[in-house]
């Protein structure tokens, strides 16, 4: 774990903005986190562990891997005949509501949230610096977010 933490410290974006970047993780943290736990790997691990539920976690990025403050979680049931593909679809369907919940929590800590077609920016109330929080890769997500703020 210390080796992974040292690697994250070597990335200036992470070390300079830890606590000011959010990550959307495809499991209910603290389960199924860490090195290699992304995408289908997470869903396979959840199914192999015979979990009854999985979900998505939106958390602040820190110098650890998937160890930052959890802002929001949404869950789905894992069916007996679940596949990584079907679980992935369920998780994708709850991502935006989880992001919206997390941004509403952050909105209470910050002055305002600005949503555009490509990114979400929060203006930190104490230092008046603009921090990149989450890059939205699909324009329909930014439209959904813009309708909630």
Ramachandran region, residue 39 (left: φ > 0; alpha: ψ -120 to 50; beta: rest)? left
Give the catalytic positions in this structure.
25
**Which residues contact residue 30 at a Cβ distance below 8 angstroms, ignoring those fewer than 6 apart?**
66
- 122 forms beta bridges with 113, 131
């Amino acid at each position: 774990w210390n080796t992974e933490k040292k690697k994250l410290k070597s990335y200036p974006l992470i070390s300079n903005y830890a606590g000011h970047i959010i990550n959307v993780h495809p499991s209910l943290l603290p389960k199924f986190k860490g090195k290699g736990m992304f995408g289908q790997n997470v869903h396979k691990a959840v199914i192999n562990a015979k979990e009854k539920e999985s979900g998505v976690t939106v958390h602040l990025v820190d110098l650890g891997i998937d160890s930052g403050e959890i802002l929001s979680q949404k869950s789905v049931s894992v069916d007996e005949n679940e596949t990584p593909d079907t679980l992935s679809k369920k998780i994708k369907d709850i991502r935006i509501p989880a992001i919206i919940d997390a941004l509403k929590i952050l909105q209470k800590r910050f002055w305002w949230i600005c949503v555009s077609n490509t990114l979400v920016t929060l203006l930190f109330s104490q230092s008046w610096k603009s921090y990149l929080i989450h890059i939205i890769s699909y324009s329909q997500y930014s439209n959904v977010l813009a309708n909630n703020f």
